[in-house]
Amino acid sequence: MRSHRTHPLEDPLRFGLICGCLTLVGSTFIGCGPSDEERERLKASMLREIGPLETKGEANGSSPEIPKDQVEQAWMTQSALPIEDWEIQYIGNEPVGFFHRKIERATTQGADTLRLTARSRTRLRGREKEVEQKIDFVAFEKENGDVMRFEGSVEVGSRTNRFEGLVRDGKLQFNTNLFGRGDSIRIGWNALDRGPFAIEQSLMRSPMKEGEQRQLRYFDPLLGRPIDAQLTAYDYFETPTFEGKKEKLLEIQITSNAKDDVFSSQVWADTQGRIHKRFNPSLDLRSFRCEKESAMVVVNQSELADLTLRPVPLGGALPLGTTKPVRFRVETIDSQYAIDLPSRTDQVVRTIKERKLDITVFPTIELTDPIVPIEGLEQEPQPGDGSLANSFVIDTNHPGIQQLAKELLQKENIASSDPVARRVSAFCKGISQRLETIPFDRRVSAGHTTLATGKGDSFDVAALLAATCRSDGIPARIAIGLRCDTKVLPLVMGLHAWTEIHDGQRWLPFDASLRTVPAAADSASTSTNIEGAIAADRIKWVDTNWNSINPYESILWLARHLSMLEISVTRGTQ
């Protein structure tokens, strides 16, 4: 059992470096997302996937039959540098953070010196609110892992703990500072002692073999004390990776002993000793080696969660109805932010002066009328494969999405050979009837997830509509911008997303998160009313295929600058 004793340097922040991955230990926080019941189910499922921990006995630093890690040889050479690793962290099935490490030559510290930098960001849910844990670390070491010095910080909400260490004359001088209160200790240091990445260094220096055991000792700057670790390699197993593939990886149990605290974890490494997967059972935490783009999902989502997203006040009066074009004046008060909006689909952009634009927006109904050409719209090429692709968010190949498309067309007695606008109108009608539209919750769900839960914000609904259209062979993409809700006074414009589809000749905007307002009786348009057709009540900042695993990057392009915008209606064109 783990004791609850604390070192003076740990209190009140209690963190640990577990198997070389900066992560939380002994905290009252839990991961955001599933309920307790769901978390237990996911945990049980996860343990079936990776196998439960098999304790072979606790680590014993004095055990003579387990060899010490051989540290005299180099674990890294300058010719292999730089090396950069990313990991994405999950609690249950919910991505909650990332870990990033970079190893490079330390140009100012000597020819055989390495600079190791690490940072992690993890979203944690406490009893009352969600907070972000931030860890930053840098160390200078010799090629064999011999520590010279290190420094870093741990931040949780408003609490920050800074630390630094220096090895000199057989001693480690370790200093920490929390809220201006400093502490300092000196620890004996010998040739076998290593820094917080000792486990990775050991495995890469000499990859373990089946049945092998080894011991090593490293200093954990977040716990502020040495750790005795015992590594036990079991066998190579077909192990699921982040990409969903199975690779033969060596399962290694790590038992770490820090005074009276004993904790276990597991890692899976390849034949070169590179770790691909980790599991910390005390936190129900998994981490997977991945590409940078995958890890940035969590980075960008965390940034979006932290932003203050106040709606932009709208000056002037917005005309009612769906048939009138509207001209907006958009200006930014930030001299460093250049507004560069697209002049295509349903809006024509004219630059007035630096950082000031006039944008004329046209409703869907006017765009579908072949008698009324729109001057100034960018002539785009025919859509490519990207607008029909299956992706993480627009999951058009999901059986539930494909079944939805068939059901909605059959319900309206529409064939796949019918005009595109008619088919999309049926999709909009069916989706809006099935879903409860909620305010923007700063998370984007895959189409099938939104369909299963029966609710979603405009970003979720736009992805679901795009997936449904693509499953029926209709090119679709996502538009992100600002929309005005005329039912709320005073008028403001808030973040919103909708879907653009290509009918074979042009891109047309549709919004399944809103019920269509019937066309005015005096409308000059010869088109019939179209479900999902939009009014000129929005401004598009960007359109994207959303084929990346990371939808948040495109949202942040606008969200970061909301507070710097000024918008007014300058004319409701007749």
Pairwise CA distance, residues 513 & 433, whole Å: 9
Q: What is the mean pLDDT of residues 91-105?
A: 85
Q: How confident is the model at residue 125 (pLDDT cuts 50, 70, 90)?
A: low
Indicate the residue among 305, 334, 358 that finishes a domain.
305
431 lies in some domain: yes
Instruction: Give the chain's domain count.
Output: 2
The pLDDT tens digits of the residues spanning 490-525 come to 999 999 999 999 999 999 999 999 865 444 433 333
Residue type, 561: H
Pairwise CA distance, residues 288 & 280, whole Å: 12
Q: Are residues 398 and 291 in the same domain?
A: no
Between 116-120, 211-215, 371-375, the lowest mean confidence (pLDDT) is in 371-375
Indicate the residue among 279, 305, 331 that finishes a domain.
305
Q: How confident is the model at residue 157 (pLDDT cuts 50, 70, 90)?
A: confident
141 lies in some domain: yes
Q: What is the mean pLDDT of residues 173-199?
A: 89
Task: Give strand pairing partners of 332.
Answer: 565
Q: Are residues 373 and 392 in the same domain?
A: yes
With tokens 């600058």, the residue in question is: 561
Q: Are residues 221 and 262 in the same domain?
A: yes
Residue 393 has pLDDT above 60, yes or no: yes
Q: Are residues 93 and 167 in the same domain?
A: yes
Do the bridges between strand 538-544 and strand 285-290 make them parallel or antiparallel, or are there none, so unpaired? unpaired
Percent of the chain with pLDDT over 70: 80
Check which CATH number belongs to the domain holding 568 and give it: 3.10.620.30
Q: Are residues 402 and 296 in the same domain?
A: no
Q: Are residues 262 and 334 in the same domain?
A: no
Task: Give strand pairing partners of 565.
Answer: 332
Which tokens sit at 290? 């991945």
1 lies in some domain: no
pLDDT value of position 498: 98
Indicate the residue among 274, 305, 336 that finishes a domain.
305
Closest CA to 88 of 320, 223, 290, 255: 290
Residue 127 has pLDDT above 80, yes or no: no
Closest CA to 340 of 355, 328, 327, 352: 355
Q: Are residues 258 and 279 in the same domain?
A: yes
pTM: 0.67
Q: Are residues 221 and 321 in the same domain?
A: no
pLDDT value of position 422: 94
Residue 235 has pLDDT above 70, yes or no: yes
7 lies in some domain: no
Q: How confident is the model at residue 65 (pLDDT cuts 50, 70, 90)?
A: low
Q: How confident is the model at residue 371 (pLDDT cuts 50, 70, 90)?
A: low
In eight-state DSSP terms, residue 563 is: G
The pLDDT tens digits of the residues spanning 136-154 come to 999 999 888 899 999 999 9
**Helix and strand totals (H; E) in the chain:** 9, 28
53 lies in some domain: yes
Q: Are residues 73 and 209 in the same domain?
A: yes
User: Chain-wide mean pLDDT for the chain?
Assistant: 82
pLDDT value of position 62: 40
219 lies in some domain: yes
Pairwise CA distance, residues 95 & 290, whole Å: 13
> What is the domain range of residue 537?
312-378+387-572
Helix, coil or strand: residue 413:
coil
467 lies in some domain: yes
Q: Are residues 249 and 396 in the same domain?
A: no
Q: Are residues 277 and 339 in the same domain?
A: no
Nearest 5°: the CA angle 484, 486, 491 is: 65
Q: Are residues 282 and 396 in the same domain?
A: no
The torsion region of residue 163 among left (phi > 0), alpha (psi -120 to 50) and beta comes to beta
Higher pLDDT: 29 or 470? It is 470
Q: What is the mean pLDDT of residues 344-348?
A: 94
pLDDT value of position 21: 37
Pairwise CA distance, residues 102 & 260, whole Å: 32
CB of 469 closer than 8 Å to CB of 534: no
Task: Give strand pairing partners of 357.
Answer: 330, 351
Sign of the C-alpha dihedral computed for residues 516, 521, 525 and 526 taken in this order: positive
155 lies in some domain: yes
